[in-house]
């Protein structure tokens, strides 16, 4: 090949790379900045978007999304290795296997339905104390002061992370950092940034080391007749003959913390933001809060979150060909973006999806996932979130003082709210 031909070939390759880079940037802009409009177009004209150069498939219709999330053997969690390196063999990183079903069943057994009163009173107490601290100031920075703190404090008590060997404030800071650094890598490090992954591994190791130190202490209390009813104590009282050992307890306790803190915080921030954007809906939700009807308020919460969910997509890797509705196929080896936000706005399944309605059936909400990887802490979230939202709605003349600030586009860091001092 001549020098001239080589230069021409190189120029063509550069142009292809530049074009691919531009297309990728356009795709990410539409996905993150014009999300609902982008998904609406795709649902209508291209329900399965194939990006051949990136080997990427985007699933947008409700029926297809549910079908995709129901096939864990074919569509696998892409972060399994990250989870393993950070917190060990947590159930989220295991698809359609005995260990996944075993661990989920055990964790659901120790997070009992009759814990509802305990959880609600615990969250009420934490919310009330934090709100009382800022009543006279007439403002609150929602994220650091409230929406992160309440889930951490709840996890310390109900999950059983608390210990007398660490000052509460120090443990609170550590629990928050462990949860944040691990979740950022596991759920949002799509570009596989090595520094984000390194921090996740460090945080996961520290978290597991803390639990390995805590477990013998808690076991001594149990052996001495202690009757603590936190999740960790219940696990330690149980006898297993199915391979569920101490390391399984460590990994699943770590996973519960990771799945609780930032997700709950983000949910509360997004719910309040969406309610404030709709004055009439906000007023209606406030009346429900005044009446103390948390069951109805939960419907306002999940409907608000439908308009600003925790994440627009769930990422999977296609391990074998799968066939969706109307002959649509996802080929083995594809990276798959399952657009849960799009599914929750699909007019083929939802009546008047653009309207804010609190009478929608529960199955139209995908905030807790669907299928095998549906959130094991769903009952805790259903209890905690409306209580947290209610205490905020009861503040007089609640308003946003500034837009939500996010760190790196991952988690809300600040959301400053004002209200009439009381």
pLDDT at 3 over 90: no
pLDDT at 347: 97
What is the average per-residue pLDDT within 310-318?
94
Q: How wide is the angle at C-alpha 160 spanned by C-alphas 154 and 161, nearest 5°?
A: 85
Would you say residue 324 lies in a domain?
no
Q: Cα separations (Å) of 297 from 198, 269, 277, 284, 289?
A: 40, 15, 17, 10, 7
Task: Give me 334's structure tokens.
Answer: 């594809």
Cβ atoms of 100 and 77 within 8 Å: the answer is no
Sign of the CA dihedral running 246, 108, 303, 326? positive
Among residues 360, 259, 276, the alpha carbon closest in space to that of 310 is found at 259
pLDDT over 90, % of the chain: 78
Cβ atoms of 25 and 13 within 8 Å: the answer is no
Would you say residue 14 lies in a domain?
no
**pLDDT tens across 82-98, in order?**
999 999 988 877 787 88
Other Cβ atoms less than 10 A from the Cβ of 404: the count is 18
- Domain limits for position 152: 70-309+344-418
Burial of residue 357 (number of CB atoms within 10 Å: 0-12, 13-18, 19+): middle
Average pLDDT taken over every residue of the chain: 92
Q: Which residues contact 125 (CB under 8 A, 6 or more apart)?
A: none
Would you say residue 42 lies in a domain?
no
Would you say residue 395 lies in a domain?
yes
pLDDT at 206: 97
Would you say residue 410 lies in a domain?
yes
**pLDDT tens across 317-357, in order?**
999 999 988 788 899 999 999 999 999 999 999 999 999 99
pTM of the model: 0.93
Would you say residue 323 lies in a domain?
no
pLDDT at 14: 46
**pLDDT tens across 369-399, in order?**
998 889 999 999 999 999 999 999 999 999 9
What is the number of structural domains in the chain? 1
- CATH number for position 243: 1.10.630.10
Would you say residue 207 lies in a domain?
yes
Among residues 415, 364, 348, 407, the alpha carbon closest in space to that of 61 is found at 348
Would you say residue 61 lies in a domain?
no
pLDDT at 227: 86
């Amino acid at each position: 090949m001549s020098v001239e031909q080589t230069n021409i070939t190189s120029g063509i390759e550069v142009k292809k790379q530049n074009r691919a880079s531009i297309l990728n940037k356009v795709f990410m802009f539409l996905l993150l900045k014009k999300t609902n409009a982008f998904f609406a177009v795709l649902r209508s004209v291209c329900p399965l978007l194939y990006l051949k150069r990136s080997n990427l498939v985007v699933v947008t219709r409700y029926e297809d999304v549910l079908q995709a999330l129901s096939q864990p053997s074919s569509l696998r969690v892409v972060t399994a290795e990250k989870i393993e390196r950070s917190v060990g063999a947590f159930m989220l990183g295991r698809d359609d296997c005995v260990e996944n079903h075993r661990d989920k069943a055990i964790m659901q057994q120790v997070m009992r339905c009759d814990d509802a009163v305990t959880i609600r009173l615990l969250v009420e107490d934490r919310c009330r104390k934090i709100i009382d601290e800022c009543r006279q100031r007439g403002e609150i920075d929602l994220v650091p002061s409230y929406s992160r703190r309440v889930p951490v404090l709840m996890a310390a008590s109900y999950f059983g992370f608390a210990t007398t060997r660490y000052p509460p404030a120090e443990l609170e800071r550590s629990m928050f950092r462990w949860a944040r650094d691990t979740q950022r890598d596991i759920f949002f490090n799509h570009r596989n940034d090595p520094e984000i992954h390194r921090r996740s591994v460090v945080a996961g190791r520290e978290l597991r080391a803390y639990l390995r130190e805590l477990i013998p202490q808690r076991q001594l209390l149990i052996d001495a007749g202690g009757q603590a009813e936190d999740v960790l104590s219940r696990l330690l009282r149980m006898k297993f003959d199915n391979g569920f050992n101490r390391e399984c307890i460590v990994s699943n306790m770590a996973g519960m913390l990771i799945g609780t803190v930032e997700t709950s915080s983000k949910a509360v921030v997004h719910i309040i933001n969406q309610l404030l954007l709709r004055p009439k809906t906000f007023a209606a939700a406030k009346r429900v809060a005044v009446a103390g009807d948390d069951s109805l308020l939960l419907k306002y919460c999940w409907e608000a979150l439908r308009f600003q969910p925790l994440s627009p997509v769930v990422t999977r890797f296609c391990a074998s060909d799968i066939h969706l509705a109307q002959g649509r196929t996802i080929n083995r080896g594809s990276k798959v973006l399952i657009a849960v936000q799009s599914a929750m706005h699909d007019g083929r399944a939802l009546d008047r999806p653009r309207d804010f309605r609190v009478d929608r059936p529960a199955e139209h909400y995908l905030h807790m996932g669907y299928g095998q990887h549906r959130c094991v802490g769903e009952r805790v979230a259903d209890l905690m979130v409306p209580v947290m939202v209610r205490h905020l709605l009861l503040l007089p003349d609640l308003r946003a003082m500034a837009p939500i600030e996010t760190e790196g586009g991952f988690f809300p860091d600040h959301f400053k709210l004002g209200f009439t001092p009381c």
